């Protein structure tokens, strides 16, 4: 069983995440190779994500990290009327 097959069978293993206004999903091609596909809300968001991917990536292993597919809530700005 490949790593992709085992991760698809295990509930709770995230296959997508949201960042910079884009939803990034792990996809598998016909040859079984995995890659990222991003759907972005705007061209600006797409360009920002592309710029980040072009930079150096730092990948760390931390088995105590709890993976959560839910992005953090953004609090609305409070404006005062006079």
Task: Please give the residue range of the domain that contains residue 46.
Answer: 14-54
pLDDT digits (tens, 9 = 90+) for 6-44: 445 555 567 899 999 999 999 999 998 999 999 999 999
CA–CA dist 22, 43 (Å, integer): 10
- pLDDT confidence bin for 56, thresholds 50/70/90: confident
Number of domains in the chain: 1
Rg of the chain's alpha carbons, rounded to an integer? Answer: 17
**Element spanning 17, H or E:** strand 16-19
Share of residues in the chain with pLDDT > 90 (%): 38
5 inside domain: no
How many residues would you count in the chain?
A: 82
């Amino acid at each position: 069983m490949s790593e992709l097959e085992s991760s698809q069978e295990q509930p709770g293993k995230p296959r997508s995440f949201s960042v910079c206004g884009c939803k990034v999903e792990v996809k598998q091609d016909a040859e079984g190779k995995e890659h990222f596909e991003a759907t972005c809300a705007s061209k600006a968001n797409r360009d920002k994500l592309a710029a980040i991917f072009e930079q150096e990536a730092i990948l760390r292993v931390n088995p105590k990290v709890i993976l959560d597919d839910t992005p953090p809530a953004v609090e609305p700005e409070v404006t005062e009327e006079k």
